[in-house]
Amino acid sequence: MAIVYDTYQRDEAERLLPLLKMDDPRRIVAMHDGQAVSAAQFVAHVARVAAQLPEASAAVNLCEDRYAFLVAFCAIALRGQANLLPPSRAPQAVEEVMAAHPGCHAVGDRPLHPSPQRFHVLPPLPVNESVSDDLAWPVIPALQTVAVGYTSGSTGAPRSNAKSWRGLHASTAGNLRMLHHVVGERFSVVATVPPQHIYGMEMSILLPLLGEVQVHSGRPFFPADIAAALETMPAPRVLVTTPVHLRALVASSVQLPPLAAMLSATAPMPPELAVQAEQVFHAPLLEVFGSTETCAFASRRVTVESRWSLYHGVHLHPQPDGTQIEAPQLDAPAVLADIITMHDEGRTFELCGRHADLLEIAGKRASLGDLTRRLLSIPGVEDGVVFQLNDADAIGVRRIGAMVVAPTLDEHVILDALRASIDPVFLPRPLRLVERLPRNETGKLPRAALLDLLHA
């Protein structure tokens, strides 16, 4: 058996996979500065940038423009280096990642002040140059580490997770298969999430490399900007977003061009918001389930089905304190903190919460996710979260607190509303009204930022 495994590892180490789908060099992969970029032009850009990168084992990819990020991502990989994806673009977060990878450098699409050590700005990427259709299509070793993603820190300190090119190939195939069932084989993407986040990378960087997909290079934030970006892209269109961004879109009453689908991740989608979004924008809202450790591996349309459908080749094994996952993109089984119940002979599952989110006080049980959902359902609450505090009371029970954005309410009104729907032992103390929550670029709430705001 060991001989067979060693042979497999040797074959995988020698296997080369294409950087992008080798079909039509005139295929459009992106819209950059209002102009279409062909596959041949993209390959030329990648080759130009790769030739200018310094020798190193890794590089922090800080490009804000999505097409520039895509070019840098592929150029870094072609040089045999890994793209380092910090949990945020904050200077301290970048410094910590670079310190963990001695000798690495950083690239961006514009000057930064202050800038990291060994920082390089990409050369111009003109899209109106003539290029030959006979360019050599690049390939990358299957087992090469091409990216190192970092968790957001919502459950503690950010952790690193290495991604091989074989693994990203496999996860992208699963995402494309899921989207093909809904929108067809050809579509365009506008994303409101940063490309450095694993969800943003999966759904707006990797898709055009392996599928008939073109992406908008920007990251529109305001509703009017999102509408304008979608207008520039051909149908069918897919909007890649988050619950926080989608809530703002629905509240704005902005008119969007026809959508084939909306895609959401990074946080649970409230069913009420999903219903509103589908009614307002006349398109199905899909959620993907995954993590920095695993990439996406399941999806659902919450307005139709509460259960998650697994991607092809994914198998889950419930455990007392979490779930073991086997997936084509993983070199070895991983363990998630999520508690699930399997259905339909292992093809679907129901999420019961994270092990760390489950609360037991005086013999009664609840979950932080359900408490947050009930908080957000109170009329007048614009945003909020219920979370565990670090300290415990005299008998060892960890207390819970809440942060709430509710300009027209006071703490007593909110607590009275919660008291009507939850057991009093789970009322958050303290409950603090704040102007806004310390959400990061993807809408997540780093635990350290919550505790800092609580004690401020």
pLDDT for 395: 43
Residue 387 banded pLDDT, cuts 50, 70, 90: confident
Task: Specify whether the CB–CB gap between 402 and 386 falls below 8 A.
Answer: yes
pLDDT for 7: 46
- Output b/e per residue, 246-274; b: 16+ Cβ within 10 A: bbbbbeeebebeebbbbbbbbbbbbeebb
Residue 66 banded pLDDT, cuts 50, 70, 90: very high
| 13, pLDDT greater than 60 | yes
pLDDT per position as a tens digit, 315-330:
999 988 889 999 999 9
| 5, pLDDT greater than 70 | no
pLDDT for 424: 82
Residue 9 banded pLDDT, cuts 50, 70, 90: low
| DSSP single-letter state for residue 138 | P
- 2-306 CATH pick, 3.30.70.20, 3.90.1200.10, 3.40.50.12780, 3.90.1150.10: 3.40.50.12780
- For the entire predicted model, the pTM comes to 0.83
CATH dotted code for 366-455: 3.30.300.30
| 147, pLDDT greater than 90 | yes
pLDDT for 136: 79
CA distance 167 to 179: 19
pLDDT for 426: 85
For residue 423, give the amino acid letter. Answer: D
CB neighbours of 416 closer than 8 A, spacing ≥ 6?
Answer: none
pLDDT per position as a tens digit, 404-442:
999 999 999 999 999 888 888 888 888 999 999 988 777
Q: What is the mean pLDDT of residues 339-361?
A: 82
Residue 157 banded pLDDT, cuts 50, 70, 90: low
Residue 351 banded pLDDT, cuts 50, 70, 90: confident
CA angle 204, 188, 63 (to 5 degrees): 30
| 200, pLDDT greater than 80 | yes
- Mean per-residue pLDDT of the chain: 88
Spans of all domains in the chain: 2-306, 366-455
Look-up of token digits 């070895």 = 332
- Considering 280-294, 409-423, 436-450, the range whose residues carry the highest mean pLDDT is 280-294
Q: Count the Cβ atoms, other than its own, within 10 Å of residue 427.
A: 17
| DSSP single-letter state for residue 89 | S
